[in-house]
Structure 1
Amino acid sequence: MQTDDQLAVARASGARELSTDAFPFRWRESFAEYSLVLIFIAMFAAMSFSVDHFFSLDNMLGLALSISQIGMVACTMMFCLAARDFDLSVGSTVAFSGVLCAMVLNATGSAVIAVTAAVAAGCAIGFVNGAVIAYLRINPLITTLATMEIVRGLAFIVSHGQAVGVSSEGFIAFGSLTLFGVSLPIWVTLVCFVVFGVMLNNTVYGRNTLAIGGNPEASRLAGINVDLVRVTIFLVQGAVTALAGVILASRITSGQPNAGEGFELNVISACVLGGVSLLGGRASISGVVVGVLIMGTVENVMNLLNIDAFYQYLVRGAILLAAVLLDQLKNRGERN
């Protein structure tokens, strides 16, 4: 039999072994958590020294402005993906809301009515998506692919396939207004980052979203109204996407029925690159912000280097594939 001293030595030895084994695990976990931030910092520093005019104030403001719409919609797409859903109709919603806003503005002369109508249309599109997915149990891919085509078709039909120009100075100023030297769309995006970050981390709505993504049936048994939460997520996404379309129409002084083509892939790529799991249950607003910045920085650098648009498609596709592979590796690591 072991004496008390021997038992104490054995316990101490086991504790040391456990501590020694846990240290590399904690180090790997911390590195995985902050690896994306480190990659972005390294990439940003490299571009600042190697690409002419990249780190200039004008280019930084232009970069922030170029990612403002993607950043806004990525905030709500984060909730959608975290709940095991996704939305392919956001690009079409951007186009339709911009066209509708321009048409209502020209008809009424009121920017308030025009913006309200566009956002209401976005809410309707989001509600239809959510209701069909939640209550009719139709696959999100099929549902949002169908609404993507329908809404894009509506944009072309109501505009007769032509851009709808606007001449309202007040509406145009909405997209070009600056505060402390920073454009209003950038401020709106920053507000979205803060609001939806707080919603994800500090509200019942955010916790329920992550719970549904982690295990929908367990969430239902725990008393969460899963269907209502999913519909709400799509409704909010529709509203924010429509607002992004309105801001875009203000910036380009017209509603374009072909606006936002490929927009949904850029948004999803930014979210997945930022660590939002395609299998649901995992998301962070900081990751989404970094993902949006990486996507915008890569595109900005390609434009500064005058890289042909055909090659830019290749790069964006490679980034999307890399983001999905990274997500799969993280999921396998968590299962192991």
Structure 2
Amino acid sequence: MTSLSSTPAEDTATAVVQNHAAGDSAQTRRNRWLVDQSMSIGYAILFVLLAFTVENFFSTANIVGLMLSVAQIGMVACTMMMCLASRDFDLSVGSTIAFSGVLGAIILEHTQSVTLAVGGGLLAGALIGAGNGVLIAYMRVNALIATLATMLMVRGLAFIVSKGQAVGIANDSFISFGDGRLFGLPYPVLVVAICFIVFGVLLNHTVFGRNTLAIGGNPDAARLAGIKVERLRVWIFLLQGLVTAVAGLILASRITSGQPNSAQGFELDVISACVLGGVSLQGGKARIFGVLIGVLIMGTVENVMNLMNVDAFYQYLMRGFILLAAVLLDQLKSRSTRG
């Protein structure tokens, strides 16, 4: 009768193979962790270097100013993250910021009611976002074309309703949204902190977030799994429009006017911040902490260039370089994942 027990040599060979496999698995996990945390580590090093080399960078006033300067980008990046995670994007956010700010200022001018002004701006943003969602999800219009068309139409509406002029704001209660402070921090900084907490929980700890990532990973498989893909996409864009309107109203309160030409190119800064933070342009992957790092990178670069009195033309060049670097980084991460 043949014995089925293994020999000592076979046991040794099996153990060696298992050890190698465990070592490779551990190495793979370490490499993946380094890739995922590369921007966080890079930003930490950059921050320390700037603190020691750029005068006034690490001052309390400048750090608060830095957080305030990225407040609008941070708010919208939270919802843009959800759009990108579901394999969509929104180019109309800059125009929505301008229109909601202008509309809020006009309503405030005619009614002197802060509630109506804020409500009108938020409703406009929600309708713009939901309209984008319907075009993309139900009418099957490509996200690039749909949101590009919306960007142009909404910007045009901002100029039409304001007659091409800035709409001044003199209401102290409305101005306090952008100018007031709590615990020494400006209200916009607190609002963006709340946005990151809320959307972090939404992405990582709710069915809504899991379904969003599932749609981005494979829409057809998500539909077969019972996810109402079209309805969820509309909700994602509605949230995008709503939060963008909040950013627009806060911007209007900060500059004490509704400006129809404000936030031009804003959408590219937001997408750059998201992609720098590890959100995949191919959908299905997003990290809220990574988006925060991406937003801080964008703001820090601009802040340092302002401290060093770098000409605005070079700042445009740097923003374009960051956008290109973000896209290339996304491509490299995608290839390493497939590999």
Shorter-chain TM-score range: over 0.9
Map of 2:159 onto structure 1: 156
Change (3 A) 1:301 1:7: same
Pick from 179, 183, 188: which aligns with 2:186? Answer: 183
Show the 5 A alignment for 1:261-272: 261-272=264-275
1:228–1:302: structure 2 CA closer, same or farther, 3 Å change rule? same
Aligned partner (choices 199, 202, 206) of residue 203 of structure 1? 206
Pair 1:258-2:261 in alignment: yes
Number of the residue aligned with 2:70:
67
SS in 2 for 1:306: coil
SS of alignment partner, residue 319 of structure 1 = helix
Q: Give the drift of 1:26.
A: 2.1
1:302 to 294, 302, 305: 305
Q: Relative to structure 1, is the Cα distance of residues 181 and 16 closer, same or farther in structure 2, using a 3 angstrom cutoff? A: same
What's the offset of the Cα at 1:3?
Answer: 4.4
Q: Deviations over 1:117-171 (max 9, x none)?
A: 0000000000110000001100000000000000000000000110000111111
Percentage of pairs with the same residue:
61
- 1:37 pairs with 2:17: no
For residue 217 of structure 2, the aligned residue among 190, 203, 214 is 214
Please state whether the residue corresponding to 2:37 is helix, strand or coil. Answer: helix
- Report the CA distance between 1:13 and its aligned residue: 1.2
Aligned length: 336
The alpha-carbon deviation at position 10 of structure 1 amounts to: 1.7
1:289-319 deviation digits (Å, cap 9, x = unpaired)? 0000000000000001110111111101011
Cross-structure match for 1:166: 169
In structure 2, C-alpha distance between the alignment counterparts of 1:25 and 1:170, rounded to whole Å? 55
CA distance in 1, matches of 2:258, 2:189: 20
Deviation at 1:24, TM superposition (A): 2.4
- For 1:314 and 1:167, locate their aligned partners in 2 and report how far apart those are by CA, in whole Å: 36
2:292 paired with 1:279:
no
Q: Map 1:71-220; keep pairs closer than 5 Å.
A: 71-220=74-223
- Matched to 2:158, the amino acid is A
Is residue 228 from structure 1 mapped to residue 231 from structure 2 by the alignment?
yes
- CA gap of 1:20–1:250, structure 2 versus 1, over 3 A, is same
Identify unmatched segments of 5+ residues in structure 2: none
Q: CA RMSD in A?
A: 1.0
Match of 1:322 among 325, 328, 336: 325
Distance 1:24 1:175, change over 3 A: same
Letter in 2 for 1:48: A
Structure 1: state its 5+ residue gaps: none
Q: Distance in 2 between matches of 1:262 and 1:152?
A: 12
What's the TM-score once normalised by structure 2's chain length?
A: 0.98
Distance 1:22 1:130 in 2: 41
